[in-house]
Amino acid sequence: MEQYLGIDVGGTNVKMGIVDATNGRISNFYSHDTASWRTSGHFIERLGDAISLQLAEFPEVSRVGIGVPGLITRDRTTLIEITAIPEIDGMEIVPDLKKRFPDHDFFLENDANAAALGEYYFGEDKLPEDYIFVTLGTGIGGAAIIDKKVFKGGGGNAMEPGHVPSRNEKVLERNIGKKELLDMANQMRANYTGSTQLPSDGTISTTGLVAAATNGDELAKQIFLEMGYMLGEGLVSMVRILDITTILIGGGISASFEFIMPAINERLNYWLTPYYLKTINIKRATLANDAGLLGAASLCFE
């Protein structure tokens, strides 16, 4: 039974665990707050200490996958810009860890890329070897998997769907990121004269929006259609540039999946030709909370 150590480095917590390669079961889960390692000035050493404890308990594990929230070098050895943890920018994390653990192999990847790959190896659905992965949350993240591998593009950091041009001279995530979605919702609520469950005091939440849409609230459904319309337009560019027609949608706001889909479908049908439409398939990602850790572990299949 092959096992990997998966590590999800986040701005709030660093999570790790031993992952069973055959079924994605996580054992020996461990989480540490990121802040104290940051302020210690020895982030990589503390991370190494935590890895050391895991490997001591699981001596048969030889591969370690690490997902980080930011830009990394194309050769996947070095951190370039980790906005949430600027102390580690520029660190040669893979060679550093390899020096301390010479018998182990380390696989570094951007966290959204890792989460995308995790869906292939550990997701509920059987996926094709090529797909686009888009996460809806504070920002709009993403990745592309081509031939079962993370698509790196030219410089190594391909797939920034949140930053393609969208409406009103804004990039996509400045239109439909979480804050922008709620701003739009509150705005549409203020102008709405019909009956709705949504509060009019500017306190609409994403869970409230999904709940209202689920209850059939017309305004909530309209808001998600607006969002889906803009997302669909961004997806069309990706489909045309990458020639990939399976699209997974994940992230917290993918709870809106069924409400954004009609608008996404309208846009895809408007912009795409039969060559694409005959195989187009949009579905919801399945890993949810463990996506980061399982994604990191999935890097070890390489």
# binding residues, a second copy (CB under 8 A): 37
SS3 34: helix
What 8-state DSSP symbol labels residue 168? G
| DSSP H or E stretch at residue 186 | helix 178-190
- Residues 209-238, interacting with a second copy (CB under 8 A): 233, 236-238
Stretch that binds a second copy, among 59-67, 92-100, 152-160, 218-226 (CB under 8 A): 152-160
Q: Which CB, 102 or 274, lies closer to a second copy?
A: 274
- Interface with a second copy, residue 158, by CB under 8 A: yes
φ/ψ (deg, to 5) at 39: -70, -20
Instruction: Sort 71 into a burial class: Cβ within 10 Å, 0-12 / 13-18 / 19+.
Output: middle
Sort strands 79-81 and 105-110 into parallel, antiparallel or unpaired. unpaired
Stretch that binds a second copy, among 7-15, 37-45, 192-200, 269-277 (CB under 8 A): 269-277
Q: Which CB, 4 or 133, lies closer to a second copy?
A: 133
Q: Of 205, 243, 269, 288, which lies in the binding site for a second copy, with binding defined by CB under 8 A? A: 243
Q: Of 86, 90, 95, 153, which lies in the binding site for a second copy, with binding defined by CB under 8 A? A: 153
Beta bridge mates, 41: none
Q: Which CB, 149 or 284, lies closer to a second copy?
A: 149
Binding mask 124-143 for a second copy (x = CB under 8 A): ------xx------------
What 8-state DSSP symbol labels residue 40? H
- The candidate with the shortest Cα–Cα distance to 281, out of 252, 260, 261, 256, is 261
Q: Which CB, 24 or 141, lies closer to a second copy?
A: 141
Sort strands 140-146 and 149-150 into parallel, antiparallel or unpaired. antiparallel
- The candidate with the shortest Cα–Cα distance to 229, out of 158, 189, 181, 183, is 181
Stretch that binds a second copy, among 16-24, 165-173, 187-195, 250-258 (CB under 8 A): 165-173
Q: Which residues bind a second copy (CB under 8 A)?
A: 71, 81, 130-131, 144, 146, 152-161, 163-165, 169, 171, 233, 236-238, 240-246, 270-271, 273, 275, 279
